[in-house]
Structure 1
Amino acid sequence: MPLFLLQFIRHYLLSLQFFTRIPVTGRLADWVGFSPAMLRASAGHFPGVGVLIGGMQALFTAGLLAGLPPTGSAPLVAAALGTALGVLLTGAFHEDGLADVADGLGGSADRDRALLIMKDSRVGAFGAIAVVLVLLCKVALLALLGDVSGPLLAAALFVAHVASRTWPLLSIRLLPHVGDAAGSKSKPLADQISALALFTGLLWCGLALALVVYVQAETAYIAIHVTDDGLLQALFNALLASGLAWAVMTRWFWRRLGGFTGDCLGATQQVCEVAFYLGLGLSL
């Protein structure tokens, strides 16, 4: 097997170790190895993690929707249980970042004080409210999409998980890392992400989009009542909404913190995911 392909697989598996609860242990973990440089390179596979998590959640949710009685509440049940699966697969890694950011930036106008609050493992009122609202928005929007079409719901989950994990790579590229880098889990990401890692992330995202469009074109299966052109326009609008959410979050972090922390990346992923679902729903 070519060396570059072996490195690709090792970096991807390391990304799974860091960003999910999917077990990469034992001899496999020994083969993967670890170093700060490897973790930095594995950041480019963050969207690739979204391919796996989004794919598993999409299949699970679509299966539930197909198996549940065809009542008006079926999409809501499937969306709620599918969202729960996503949280379990990631260990609420990104939701935890969202809670810390909400507590820090909501709890203090002072930059240093906000960073100190974000390091506290306890969840405050702002953090709890933020996580609850985001989860409610996810479930409600996914149920709305499920009312239109079960396959459309699955496609939305798949692409949203990939796209929302692509935008944070741009944050790493554009903003400096701030806070206590020595004690941060994101310290290996504190240096600017390489052009190769950024290209890898964009490639993952492009392949995910291409796969959804190809399946729709070949099977006309994804979006009942939505033409191929309509689906393309809807996906574009969803990506645009997700990108606007990223821009707002990035500007907010720059103004309040002067950069990003690992928690900021998790919060960005969560907000961009919700924005994708909202943009897709409005387009339909």
Structure 2
Amino acid sequence: MELLNETMRSLAFLSRLPVSTRWFRDYDGSLAGCVRSFPIAGIIIAMPAALVLAATSALPAYASALLVVAVLIVTTGALHEDGLADVADGFYGGGSPQRRLEIMKDSAIGSYGTLALILSVLLRTALLATVLGELGLLQSLAVLIGTEAVSRAALAKFWQSLPSARVGGVADQAGTPTADAANFALAIGGVVLALSFGFAAGVLAIVAAGAMATLAFLGFSALCRAKIGGQTGDTLGAMQQFATISLLLGLVIAL
């Protein structure tokens, strides 16, 4: 029951899906305590996009993929895309950690952020279209659901692995996830990856997608340490985007 409570609370933060206030009774407001349910929330977040994928399967693959990506953006309220844009602007528009954090806090989007959003949408659409062209409907649905779950498991572990870079920021105020909670989320993500990508394209797909996601995780973690000394709420969103792209890229390589 506690895991169900955590899942509903995670959904309220990670998406625009309606969540009843009854799930927040006796809740201390700490999102960090809910991270073990992030991959489960990712499965639920994928459902509207999965319905759209099934309904548009007769369309050209690129058109269907673009509609799926659009629905995912609407479902999350562009939460992760906003983080990616802020990270791109801050990391490459500022000359010092403090200045980068200031730029990331600004709601305006600059050239780096705009380009990052364009590239993210194009990459996700192109990779998903390739998947749709190579695999059947059921396999494609498994990939979509698995990707949304595993990318949020990576987000949870990323949050726990790096120190907070901004005192009083969204991620800092939400608390620090425990290693046990983050590892639990990562374990669920690993199981979902094995089941979904294994069903879709076999063992090679699991290995390739897992390897690419690990490289993205380690690379972005190192970049965050170098640029701002840790993580913020924006970098959590960016991590989800990088994880999604790397998982799909690994699968496409394996096909």
| Fold-level similarity (TM above 0.5) | yes
Aligned to 1:265: 236
1:141 matched to 2:111: no
Query: In the aligned structure 1, how far is the partner of 2:132 from the partner of 2:93?
Result: 36
Matches within 5 A, 1:85-164: 85-151=71-137, 152-164=139-151
Cα contact 1:163–1:239 (8 A) shared by 2: no
- Structure 1 CA distance for aligned equivalents of residues 95 and 107 of structure 2: 20
Deviation at 1:50, TM superposition (A): 1.2
Contact 1:62 1:153 in 2 (8 A): no
Distance apart, 1:210 and its partner CA: 4.8
Which protein is bigger by CA-based radius of gyration?
1
Q: Which of the numbers 51, 54, 57 marks the counterpart of 2:49?
A: 57
1:226 alignment partner in structure 2: none
In 1, the alpha carbon distance for the partners of 2:46 and 2:187 equals 16
- The answer for unaligned runs of 5 or more in structure 2 is none
- Counterpart of 1:165 (choices 125, 128, 152) is 152
Paired letter, 2:141: A
Alignment of 1:173-184 (within 5 A): 173-179=160-166, 181-182=167-168, 184=169
Please give the alpha-carbon distance, in whole angstroms, between the structure 2 residues aligned to 1:11 and 1:238: 27
In structure 1, the residue matched to 2:185 is 201
Matched letter for residue 240 of structure 1: A
Q: Is the 8 A contact 1:62 1:150 kept in 2?
A: no
233-242 or 262-271, which deviates more: 233-242
2:16 corresponding residue in structure 1: 21
Question: For residues 59 and 207 of structure 1, what CA distance do their matches in structure 2 show?
Answer: 23
Query: C-alpha displacement at 1:280, in angstroms?
Result: 0.7
Once residues 144 and 213 of structure 1 are traced to their aligned partners in structure 2, the CA distance between those partners, rounded to angstroms, is 15
Q: What's the CA shift for 1:91? A: 0.3
User: Contact 1:95 / 1:267 at 8 angstroms: preserved in 2?
Assistant: yes
Runs of 4+ in 1 over 6 A off after TM superposition: none
**Maintained 8 Å contact 1:172/1:189:** no
What is the deviation of 1:171? 1.9
Aligned to 2:222: 251
* SS class of match (1:237): helix
User: Match for 1:186: what amino acid?
Assistant: A
Please tell me whether the aligned partners of residues 164 and 269 of structure 1 are also in contact (alpha carbons under 8 angstroms). yes
Q: Which amino acid counterpart does residue 56 of structure 2 have in structure 1?
A: L
Q: Distance in 1 between matches of 2:224 and 2:6?
A: 28
TM-score (norm 2): 0.92
Percent identity of equivalent pairs: 33
Cα-Cα RMSD: 1.8
> Structure 1 pair 142/213, CA: closer, same or farther in 2 (3 Å)?
closer
TM-score, with normalisation over the residues of structure 1?
A: 0.83
In the aligned structure 1, how far is the partner of 2:22 from the partner of 2:44? 22
Instruction: Please state whether the residue corresponding to 1:166 is helix, strand or coil.
Output: helix
Rounded Cα–Cα distance in structure 2 between residues aligned with 1:9 and 1:32: 12
Distance (whole Å) between structure 2 residues aligned to residue 172 and residue 92 of structure 1:
19
Aligned residue-pair number: 253
Structure 2 equivalent of residue 12 of structure 1? 7
AA of the residue aligned to 2:29: P
2: CA distance between counterparts of 1:29 and 1:211?
33
For the Cα contact (< 8 Å) 1:55–1:157, is it kept in 2? Answer: no
In the alignment, the residues of structure 2 paired with residue 36 and residue 202 of structure 1 have an alpha-carbon distance, to the nearest angstrom, of 23
